[in-house]
Amino acid sequence: MTARILVVDDIEANVRLLEAKLTAEYYEVLTAHDGPTALALAAKEKPDIVLLDVMMPGMDGFQVCRRLKNDPETRHLPVVLVTALDGRGDRIAGLEAGADEFLTKPIDDMMLFARVRSLTRLKMVIDELRDREASGRRMGVIAGSASRLGGAGGRVLIVDDHERQAQRVAAELAIEHRPVIEGDVEKALLSARGMADLIIVNATARSFDGLRFAAQIRSDEATRHLPILAVVDYDERSRVVKALEIGVNDILPKPIDPQELAARARTQIRRKRYTDYLRDNLDHSLELAVTDQLTGLHNRRYMVSQLEALVRRAGHGGDPVASLLIDIDHFKKINDGYGHDVGDEVLREFAVRLASNVRAVDLPCRYGGEEFVVVMPDTSIVDAQRIAERIRLHVAGSPFRVMGGAELLSVTISIGVAATNGGADKPEALLKRADEAVYEAKATGRNRVVARAA
């Protein structure tokens, strides 16, 4: 797994040393020697990780990190602060500035590369979600902003068999979150499937293997996206590295510092909410891409893709496919006489009646305007005609209530029916036959079903 890493340090020797180490591991390295240059490079090149020295003249690493995290274009970039300082205050300041990790010079290569690999995996997920969201925005199907997503008020599951330690962690987190303690891993696995925003697991627990628990969380589809903060003895380097390899998002060293706990928890919850926002927007954009927003039925784009696959299968010896093309009679008169709002009410009510009168395997879609299509897998033209007649009777049999029930409108429909006949039939030919049948139905008095054989 490779990545583009921006190394920022005012000392040339430090930059060259890190560049050599990272290049030897096949990472692509960008370099900067001051804060303003680093900000400009980060905005232009969008690296996968920023390794940022703290002690720089002019703009120090804390300021650069804060600027990166406050910019919507770069806030998703993982930042690792690198410093010769090992003081608690500096570590807390770095985490509160938004840093993802804080490494002390001389840098432990094993820890550095474990962190880089872990953060690269995270960045790849976020990049994919951001790219899909950007595509949705270009299509005009995503709205909303992530600017107000914060790191407070999270639901935190504490998995620990050390009761006193768990109580201390819960008490600290309760200031701004909603913590729950669970000492039984089986119950914790069930609880994690609920609505947790963060899991804190004691990796040094005596009654269970904390890293195995973390691995189970990562392997379960329902929980694999939950952030995990592992409490580990930092002197156990191999265990820390293993935790990061398993997919733990962050490490909390023992003994636990309350401020560091709070800062790391806020960072993980904020990032989880950001990725949830991206996933929700993606789901919404996918739904919008295949759904007609007025009626809730599938749209023409989705119908065409499904029909092509079914007709192709039918042409290779599969089951026949039928299609109904439905047109609401005199719909323009409804719009002209009652207004487009009433016209929309009629379309919505018709969609409900249509969906309730076709089979579960059928695909009712809005084709455009007042035209609808039903794609019917494994259906002969005779069966399709029978179902079409049922739909026609349901629509014509009872008036449509509009304007809050103040008006009753009699609505009728004309339906054209067609089905594949094997061989080299095409979706366009199938729809054309159904369309010709609709014209025939309208020409012969409307409110009727006409089937057109191949």
Catalytic residues: 370
Nearest to 207 by CA among 187, 189, 185, 188: 185
Nearest to 81 by CA among 43, 133, 45, 38: 38
Q: Which amino acid is at 123?
A: K
Show Cβ contacts of residue 390 under 8 Å, excluding neighbours closer than 6 positions: 357
Q: Are 175 and 168 in contact (CB under 8 A)?
A: no
- For residues 110 and 430, what is the distance between their CA atoms, to the nearest angstrom? 63
202: phi then psi, degrees, rounded to nearest 5: -80, 105
Three-class DSSP category at 286: helix
- For residues 22 and 7, what is the distance between their CA atoms, to the nearest angstrom? 10
Region class of 446: left (phi > 0), else alpha (psi between -120 and 50), else beta: left
Q: How many CB atoms lie within 10 A of CB 414?
A: 24
DSSP state of 183: -
Q: Are 330 and 338 in contact (CB under 8 A)?
A: no
Nearest to 132 by CA among 258, 25, 285: 285
Show Cβ contacts of residue 157 under 8 Å, excluding neighbours closer than 6 positions: 179, 180, 182, 188, 191, 192, 196, 198, 199, 200
- For residues 443 and 327, what is the distance between their CA atoms, to the nearest angstrom? 13
